[in-house]
Structure 1
């Protein structure tokens, strides 16, 4: 069963190797599939912008999104160390060894996470970002699971930069910066939908992703339409309500 689901996941990521894919959607899928298939409870991805600074790109839960933002604001944590070193970084018990990242460790434990593994998002020697895998229980992540997670992260990295083969050496930076700009619009749209529908922001995000998939549109395009209150997305919440009833 695991082997079949892993195969499906690799095919899903490989399908991004076409023009026009949505980087943010890709990375959210990466987080969700890692939680689904591996022995982890949550995941988050940070990407480097044009200045080389890490920025939040995706998270499996709203709680992890806030924790990743705290890591960035405090400039301390496993994803930052992983990105700068280019190698995997892990802590099997944040309560036992808090001296590595004292403030991040305390924040992670407050969120119910005891162990973390950070994996580089990279293409050969080029570092694009890093992915955090969180666990509620103490203990090192199984080595096989780490290898699978790294392989998934590597495929996602290839998906991000694949168009370089068409001769645009600056494309990596452009794609990543475009994705990070889209992230800002998506956060705005989540807030608009949450307020409009009086729902949780995580539910608002799920509504947008579902709408984007059902209508074969980029998540970033749907988010912009929501922020601009475009007529074509006016019934998004009511459509979701009908499908849930």
Structure 2
């Protein structure tokens, strides 16, 4: 078995493992985003999920640029992720003119951040679409059929896991859990900014530092973020936890 096959197998196990007592939605979705970049021919990935009222929210991203692009989609009501969620089908365009025709302002912002193509895969089970996986590339053109198949399979497994995890709880708990996840995401963005400013880190690297600290100390990301914001967790202590090398921004 090759290293890619081993990573793929490990990814499917991770995405299926949602029935644990300390299940963390944010960390789970971040795993889907980062593994998409590692396994597919893409340079960044982001995930939007729908709340109980059908409104989409940015929930995870592999890079700050991906998060900004997804926020831009929501703010301007335009882009592949929105079209994918609404249709429940994969969305892509063959070339730059087609992208500009479908998403003129989004395509301009996409280029400004160093990317040349974008497509989205639905997070859907039968008739229920709960979100979409956005895939961004520095090179123009669509993903290969093989990569698209792997990407959709990962999105499908993650969707089944999320829906299964939700179905176990009562409806009130489901609404509370998603609202908590949304609040945690806002808190996480605040903590990223605080840590980045205080420690002189890029936003992406600040997140990786927090995530590494949370995992090495068996703690929830939301709890670590809260302590960074209120200053009760020492920055140096967080930074000394083992974490991946700083990520490089896309090259234009």
Q: TM > 0.5 between the two?
A: yes
Identify which of 56, 75, 90 aligns with 2:58.
56
User: Secondary structure at 1:55's aligned position in 2?
Assistant: strand
What do the CA deviations read for 1:41-62 (whole angstroms, capped 9, x no partner)?
1101111123211111111111
Give the 3-state SS of the residue equivalent to 2:96 in structure 1: coil
Distance in 1 separating the partners of 2:180 and 2:151: 25
Residues 116 and 137 of structure 2 are in contact (CA less than 8 Å); yes or no, is this contact kept in structure 1? yes
Q: When the two structures are superposed, what TM-score results if normalisation uses the length of structure 1?
A: 0.90
User: Residue 118 and residue 170 in structure 1: after superposition, are their counterparts in 2 closer, same or farther (change >3 A)?
Assistant: farther
| Unpaired runs of at least 5, structure 2 | 244-252
Give secondary structure in 2 for the equivalent of 1:134: strand
CA distance in 2, matches of 1:128, 1:3: 28
- C-alpha change, 1:158 and 1:225, in structure 2 (3 Å) is farther
- 1:145-184 to structure 2, matched below 5 A, reads 145-166=147-168, 168-184=170-186
Residue deviations 1:115-145 (CA, integer Å, cap 9, x gap):
2220111233222111111111122211121
Is 1:9 the counterpart of 2:11 in the alignment?
yes
Among 223, 228, 232, which residue is 1:226 paired with? Answer: 228
Q: CA deviation at 1:167?
A: 5.3
Q: 1:72 aligns with which of 71, 74, 77?
A: 74
Q: CA deviation at 1:65?
A: 1.1
Instruction: Look up the SS of the partner of 2:58 in the other structure.
Output: strand
More moved, 149-158 vs 213-222: 149-158
Who is 2:236 aligned against? 237
Residues 161-205 of structure 1 deviation map (CA, whole Å, 9 limit, x = unaligned): 323443524554433322111100001111111122122222211
**Aligned partners of 1:11 and 1:170: how far apart in 2?**
28
Q: In the aligned structure 2, how far is the partner of 1:78 from the partner of 1:242? A: 37
Q: Is the 8 A contact 1:21 1:218 kept in 2?
A: no
Task: Give 1:72 deviation, angstroms.
Answer: 0.8
**Correspondence for 1:142:** 144
The verdict on how the C-alpha distance between 1:130 and 1:183 changes in structure 2, with shifts beyond 3 A counting, is same
Tell me the distance in 1 between the aligned counterparts of 2:78 and 2:134. Answer: 13
Equivalence for 1:34: 36
CA contact (8 A) 2:213 2:238 kept: no
Extract unaligned runs of 5+ from structure 1: none
Equivalent residues in 2 for 1:209-220 (5 A)? 209-220=211-222
- Alpha-carbon deviation of 1:109? 1.6
Take 1:140 and 1:118, find their aligned partners in 2: how far apart are those partners? 11
Q: Deviations over 1:203-235 (max 9, x none)?
A: 2111100001001111112111222222xx22x
User: Residue 124 of structure 2 contacts residue 156 of structure 2 at CA under 8 Å; is this kept in 1?
Assistant: yes
Residues 243, 49 of structure 1: CA spacing in aligned structure 2 closer, same or farther, 3 A cutoff?
closer
**Which of residues 185, 188, 203 is equivalent to 1:186?**
188
Give 1:21 deviation, angstroms: 1.1
TM-score (norm 2): 0.88
Residue in structure 2 matched with residue 47 of structure 1 by the alignment: 49
More divergent stretch after superposition (145-154 vs 91-100):
91-100
Check 1:131–1:220 CA distance in 2 against 1; reply closer, same or farther (3 A cut).
same
Closer/same/farther in 2, CA of residues 242 and 109 from structure 1, 3 Å limit: closer
